[in-house]
Amino acid sequence: METIATSTKEQLLYSLETSIVSSIDHLHPEISASAKETLKALEFPSTRQEEWKYSRTTRISSESWEVRKSSATYDISSFRIKDIDADEIVFINGFFCPDLSTVRNNGAISVLPFSQLDGQLKQQALNNIGSETSRHNSFFTALNTAYCTDGIFFFVQKNTVVHRPIHFLFLQEGERTLAMPRISGIVGSGSKMHIVTSYGSLDQKKAWNNAVIEITIEQNASLTFDKVQLEGDQNFSIINEFFRQHKDSRFSISTLTVDGGWVRNNLNIFLDGTHCESHLNGFYLPRGNQHIDNHTLVDHLLPHCESNELYKGVIYDRGKAVFNGKVFVRPDAQKTNAYQNNANIMMSDDATVNTKPELEIYADDVKCSHGTTTGRFDESALFYLRARGLGEESARKMLSSAFIGEVLNKVDNQFVRMYVQDILTTRGLWV
Amino acid sequence: MLTIKNLYSTIDSKQILRGLNLEVKPGEVHAIMGPNGSGKSTLASVLAGREEYEVTDGEIAFNGKNLLELAPEDRAREGIFLAFQYPVEIPGVSNINFLKAALNEIRNYQGKEQISAKDFLKLVNEKSKLVELDGQLTNRSVNEGFSGGEKKRNEIFQMAMLEPKLAILDETDSGLDIDALRIVANGVNAMRSPERSFIVITHYQRLLDYIVPDFVHVLYKGRIVKSGSKELALDLEAKGYDWIKEEEVTQ
């Protein structure tokens, strides 16, 4: 077994080594070189590791993948969010597509591909990338660092309200393509912005996306982040996200997983300043044979911070969901308020959910709670609706809409909410 | 309209109804009274189609249809309405959206057109006034955070919106103060018509001062043991149920 796993890893690394130079090399070649060293020492994740116990990666490691720029033209309009008036940054197969993107740089905000960074911005990007990756040597993050297909760095000057949201679209096409896009950004102190990321397949072919998002939220800044996952049944998606919050900052993220054959979200939030506030909400709706795994980490490093986490899932057919919510309260993080809740509804006898809250508390003056529920619909509510004339199907739909509606309603931006609602409606998941 | 013959029903293998007979004609109001555990709420649940209640014998015909073969939603679409004793709170489901969907599914079943948004709102305005239900409440999640009285008024509001042929009020008066009781009763009385029938299940004669029944039945140990006019309710109020129980024993 050991030899097979090693050779799979080596085959993958060899094929990447011969086909791509990490776009991070433009910033400093040392970063990808050190990531490659890390990869040598790490095993390809497998279910033998606690972190990957419920998500089989053999389906990824048994394929041969190729990094390939897209030459086809696709209509991407269904991935644009109607009326939102956002700046759109489009990646296809992990490569930035300037022709499909609208980037309006001005004095207050800079948005640039890694390859065009220069001077002070380059130094800032370098610091931002170096700081997160050196702390997190997980296999897939290191893989992205070593072989990043393309990256965007953004920087918001201090005391700036960015009125127009930035929408990053990560799309893929072609058989067995591997995309490794990266977003690195800094929201300057006292600034406010809204980011949307969405993920989708253009042709429903087998593809693997291994993305890294790393954002620093500086003092008293505010970031709202919506993530819409719409990938195909043949897609493997590993999203590695790192958010570091400084003093008095506010951060809110909604992870809306509508579709995805095999999804692993690694969301990491570091409350690295006092009086920070963090909200993490998410829903997942695995259907057919879909597998949706959310691993979240909220790391309370300093005192007087608050985090609120709510993840809800409706699991249909033979769908599988995994929720693992880590909350660390470090010795210095007195007066922490940390709340976590995970609720699941099983829609079929073949549905599976593995849910595991992990609270590690090293401070003594904190308020922390967690709860998890997994069950079927409340039969009395179902009967009440049916007794009014609603068919069983509509009644169930109404109850599941209400169930995930609690998460969707936390999305501030009405256009994002409408966009997701419309998609859920066409999928027959929303009334 | 409704004919119940020799109805036997169990829940969790416990026999509750034991040979119940009842005939309700269009426009009639039947009150069903009885001591705790006599089977009043079971009757309401069986009529509405709650699946935990198993019908082991007997038949129920509603306007010529075998009610026991119909799913709960089809009973509602045929014109049966149950005002719940304990209305369920359903967080996240808007009272109004749910009623609109329900009304349209009923109309669809009856071969009628979908109601327009404008007509629907007009209907909501009109019917919520009937039970003095605040417009804010109609827009909230179903029964969530409603007081006991508001929940019962919401039941009657829904009844008024759906305009059933037969309404079953399951202890709608319990937990209501006298003012709320009057409002609820006024709402019911406004809906009385020669075509619409009511089964009013209650513990207390008090409600029948406001909703005057054509018939009063006493349910005891799963059967109707006594039927009479509205005066029977007054007798029960004065004498309690013991004399009925004794009559049963001597028989």
How far is residue A275's CA from residue A398's CA, in Å, rounded to a whole number? 38
How far is residue A214's CA from residue A31's CA, in Å, rounded to a whole number? 15
Task: Give the number of residues written for chain A.
Answer: 431
Where residue A2 falls among pLDDT bands split at 50, 70, 90? Answer: very low
Pick from B14, B66, B61, B15: which is nearest to B223 by CA? B15
Chain B: give the shortest CA distance to residue A430, in Å: 12
Where residue A134 falls among pLDDT bands split at 50, 70, 90? Answer: low
Pick from A254, A270, A266: which is nearest to A312 by CA? A254
For residue B88, which residues of chain A lie inside 8 Å, CB to CB? Answer: 378, 380-381, 383-384
Reduced to 3 states (helix: H, G, I; strand: E, B; else coil), residue B137 is: helix
For residue A5, the model assigns a pLDDT of 46
Per-residue pLDDT of chain B (251 residues; tens, 9 = 90+): 999 999 999 999 999 999 999 999 999 999 999 988 899 999 999 999 999 999 999 999 999 999 999 999 999 999 999 999 999 999 999 999 999 999 999 999 999 999 999 999 999 999 999 888 887 777 889 999 998 889 999 999 999 999 999 999 999 988 888 888 999 999 999 999 999 999 999 988 889 999 999 999 999 999 999 999 999 988 888 888 888 877 776 76
Higher pLDDT, B145 or A107: B145
Reduced to 3 states (helix: H, G, I; strand: E, B; else coil), residue A372 is: strand
What domain range is A119 assigned to? 2-272
Q: Which helix (H) or strand (E) holds B179?
A: helix B178-191
Higher pLDDT, A332 or A4: A332
Report the DSSP beta bridge partners of residue A281.
A254, A310
Q: Are A219 and A245 in contact (CB under 8 A)?
A: no
Sheet holding A166-172, edge to edge: A95-96, A87-92, A166-172, A192-201, A222-230, A250-259, A277-284, A306-315, A337-346, A367-375
Tell how strand B223-228 and strand B215-220 pair up: antiparallel
State yes or no: pLDDT of A82 exceeds 90.
Answer: yes
For residue A304, the model assigns a pLDDT of 98
Of A238, A272, A306, the one marking the end of a domain is A272
Reduced to 3 states (helix: H, G, I; strand: E, B; else coil), residue B7 is: strand
Q: Are B91 and A398 in contact (CB under 8 A)?
A: no
Q: Has residue A284 been placed in a domain?
A: no
Chain B: give the shortest CA distance to residue A86, in Å: 30
The alpha helices in B72-134, defined as continuous H runs, are 72-78, 95-109, 117-130
Question: pLDDT (tens digit, 9 = 90+) per residue, B10-52?
Answer: 999 999 999 999 999 999 999 999 988 899 999 999 999 999 9
Give burial (CB, 10 Å; 0-12/13-18/19+) of B202.
buried
For residue A385, which residues of chain B lie inside 8 Å, CB to CB? Answer: 90, 93, 98, 102
- Measure CA A168 to chain center: 12
Where residue A106 falls among pLDDT bands split at 50, 70, 90? Answer: confident
User: Percentages helix, strand, coil for chain A, rounded to the nearest 5?
Assistant: 25, 40, 35
For residue B49, which residues of chain A lie inside 8 Å, CB to CB? Answer: 386-387
Mean pLDDT across A39-63: 91
How far is residue B152's CA from residue B87's CA, in Å, rounded to a whole number? 7
Structure tokens at A211: 């993305």
Pick from A225, A266, A265: which is nearest to A245 by CA? A225
For residue B251, the model assigns a pLDDT of 64
Give burial (CB, 10 Å; 0-12/13-18/19+) of A63.
middle
Question: pLDDT (tens digit, 9 = 90+) per residue, A244-300?
Answer: 999 999 999 999 999 999 999 999 999 999 999 999 999 999 999 999 999 999 999
Mean pLDDT across A178-186: 97
How far is residue A30's CA from residue A308's CA, in Å, rounded to a whole number? 37
Q: Has residue A429 been placed in a domain?
A: yes
Q: Has residue A180 been placed in a domain?
A: yes
Where residue A370 falls among pLDDT bands split at 50, 70, 90? Answer: very high
A161-190 burial code (b ≥16 CB/10 A, e <16):
ebeebbbbbbbbbbeebbbbbbbbbbbbbb
State yes or no: pLDDT of A357 exceeds 90.
Answer: yes
Considering the domain B2-250, what is its CATH architecture? 3-Layer(aba) Sandwich (3.40)
ipTM of the complex: 0.96
Chain B: give the shortest CA distance to residue A400, in Å: 9
Q: Has residue A363 been placed in a domain?
A: no
How far is residue B34's CA from residue A185's CA, in Å, rounded to a whole number? 72
Residue with tokens 């609820």: B184
Pair (A259, A135) in one structural domain = yes
For residue A402, which residues of chain B lie inside 8 Å, CB to CB? Answer: 90-93, 141
Domain ranges of chain B: 2-250
State yes or no: pLDDT of A219 exceeds 80.
Answer: yes
For residue B76, which residues of chain A lie inside 8 Å, CB to CB? Answer: 386-389
Q: Which helix (H) or strand (E) holds B245?
A: helix B242-250
The answer to whether the CB atoms of B98 and A398 lie below 8 A apart is: yes
Sheet holding B166-170, edge to edge: B80-83, B166-170, B197-201, B29-33, B215-220, B223-228
Q: Share the mean pLDDT of chain A.
A: 94
Residue of A nearest to B160 (CA): A388
Question: pLDDT (tens digit, 9 = 90+) per residue, A378-403?
Answer: 899 999 999 999 999 999 999 999 99
Task: Mutation target for B interface from A383, A396, A407: give the one with most B CBs within 10 A.
Answer: A383
For residue A132, the model assigns a pLDDT of 67
Domain count, chain A: 2
The answer to whether the CB atoms of B73 and A401 lie below 8 A apart is: no
DSSP state, residue B249: H
Phi first, then psi, for residue A296 (nearest 5°) are -120, 150
User: Quick check: A393 contacting B, CB < 8 Å?
Assistant: no
> What is the interface size between A and B, counted as CB pairs within 8 Å?
78
Q: Has residue A298 been placed in a domain?
A: no
Q: Are B19 and B223 in contact (CB under 8 A)?
A: yes
Give burial (CB, 10 Å; 0-12/13-18/19+) of B199.
buried
How far is residue A404's CA from residue B71's CA, in Å, rounded to a whole number? 27
State yes or no: pLDDT of A136 exceeds 80.
Answer: no
Q: Are A251 and A223 in contact (CB under 8 A)?
A: yes
Structure tokens at A324: 């693992």
Question: pLDDT (tens digit, 9 = 90+) per residue, A239-256?
Answer: 999 999 999 999 999 999
Q: Has residue A100 been placed in a domain?
A: yes
